[in-house]
Amino acid sequence: MDELLINEAVTNAHVSGNTAWMLASTALVLFMTPGLAFFYGGMVRAKHVLGMLMQNFFCMGMASLVWALVGYSIAFGPSTSGFWGGFGFAALQDIGDPFVVPYTAEGGLTPTVVFIAFQMMFAIITPALITGAVADRFKFWAFAIFVTLWLLFVYAPIAHWVWDTDGWLYRRGALDFAGGTVVHANAGIAGVVLAYVLGRRRGWPGADFRPHNVPFVLLGASVLWFGWFGFNAGSALGSGTLAGWAFLNTQLATAAALLGWIGAEWVRDGKPTTLGAASGAVAGLVAITPACGFVSAMGAMAIGALAGVLCALATAIKGKVGIDDALDVGAVHLVGGVLGALLVGFFATTDTGGTTLDGVFYGGSGQLLLDQLVAVAATIGYSAVCTAILGLIVVRVLNGRISARDEEVGLDESQHGESSYRFHFAGGTGSVFAASRVKGTREAQA
């Protein structure tokens, strides 16, 4: 009897520890979306910054409700086809307990309600990633319609394919620890396609589109880096060794990517930039996301370094193909997500405990790499086609692009009736320019 009581106490403590870590991770992932808003917001021109912040903030509200009403059911409801979870868990009814853990037993007995909340935060940030590609061009109401439909018809089904134990890619053997395909490749290709449908910003590429506030960019990247530990280590659904590997690998890959990006910049342009350091860090975070629980520390550093260099070089592609992906969502999230997902097939090792399959570099047969290729191709193909259809409806049929006048005025004023910055001087009201004229007049009179 005493032994049974001890075992029960140990199990309860284990579940309580896992649950506490999962709740903390959930909050960390939510914090990533404001970080993304500042990361993107600093890169746009001053007249569009509130529009960017508002789009990201809107996702926090919209996706939460859509996820609870039907999104979770589509993504994690029972399925016989492997493509669609159905509506059995709509409005979070009959959800069962506990959730079945995909990759590791150490996260066992995770309360389903905690898992629902954790995955809700992924559903928030994934459509928000698209906003960087289409900056400065979307009417707010049109953006709201698009991302709501995209969450239901693109994100939730792909999450079912890859992460649900009934999903066809999961059953095939594809590995995606925290969202290289489901989140980053998915949102990356969607951003590129939607940018093409919307068309170029007026004046691109010749006009001045430099970031208006690089400190905002660095602040946003830092918040993303911090929150990403919940994104990746939380995806172990437990607080044990696998979560530790995911945490450590996230840090190592991000550090390597940061150095890789600024190194590539230094060689190409002669100077490393702060913007490049921030972008490199995010590229590393993206690339290690699908792999963080499956690779060794050396594998993580290799993935990060490759991501930093290749994503930096990929920023030149949009100019050559003429697609105005404003904030390089394709170069960072599409290239980084695809790279990380495919490199699982090379660097995966059973030593971390997240997988029973070794990659090619560890003596694997190559089957895992093939499964990763299928997952990447299916995700990109489905997302691209569905995004194009939704984009054409919202942009072309419903006239969702802002007018030339509104683009000149900026999203802040035209869509929200607000201004990001009001400048005053100590002697009274008025603009900085007016203040300088007054000061100059007084000096002349003196």
CA angle 211, 254, 350 (to 5 degrees): 150
Residue type, 61: G
Domains and CATH numbers, the chain: 18-408 (1.10.3430.10)
pLDDT (mean) for 54-67: 98
Contact at 8 Å (CB) between 32 and 128? no
pLDDT (mean) for 228-246: 94
Q: How many CB atoms lie within 10 A of CB 371?
A: 18
Long-range CB pairs of 423-429, under 8 A, 24+ apart, other chains included: none
pLDDT at 217 over 70: yes
Specify the pLDDT at position 412.
96
Closest CA to 256 of 210, 298, 317, 195: 298
Rounded CA separation 329/139 (Å): 20
Residue type, 169: L
pLDDT (mean) for 245-250: 98
Question: Which residues, 6+ apart, have CB-to-CB distance to 245 below 8 Å?
Answer: 292, 293, 352, 353, 354
Structure confidence by residue, pLDDT tens digits, 398-427? 999 999 999 999 999 999 999 999 866 555
Specify the pLDDT at position 325.
97
Closest CA to 293 of 364, 363, 241, 230: 241
| Residue 319 pLDDT grade (very low, low, confident, very high; cuts 50, 70, 90) | very high
pLDDT (mean) for 225-230: 98
Structure confidence by residue, pLDDT tens digits, 131-154? 999 999 999 999 999 999 999 999
Specify the pLDDT at position 17.
85
Rounded CA separation 407/401 (Å): 9
The larger pLDDT score, comparing residue 95 to residue 445, is at: 95
Specify the pLDDT at position 107.
56
Specify the pLDDT at position 96.
80
- E-assigned strands of 286-355? none
Residue type, 40: Y
pLDDT at 70 over 80: yes
Residues 304, 310, 312, 314: what is their CA dihedral angle, to the nearest 10 degrees?
Answer: -140
| Residue 110 pLDDT grade (very low, low, confident, very high; cuts 50, 70, 90) | confident
Structure confidence by residue, pLDDT tens digits, 8-60? 554 555 678 889 999 999 999 999 999 999 999 999 999 999 999 999 999 99
CA 97 vs. chain centroid, Å, equals: 28
pTM: 0.92
The larger pLDDT score, comparing residue 422 to residue 274, is at: 274
Specify the pLDDT at position 83.
95
Structure tokens given for 358: 């070794």
Specify the pLDDT at position 97.
74
pLDDT-above-90 percentage for the chain:
82
Specify the pLDDT at position 353.
86
Rounded CA separation 180/291 (Å): 8
CA atoms within 13 A on the CB side of 75: 24
| Residue 277 pLDDT grade (very low, low, confident, very high; cuts 50, 70, 90) | very high
Report DSSP state, residue 331: I
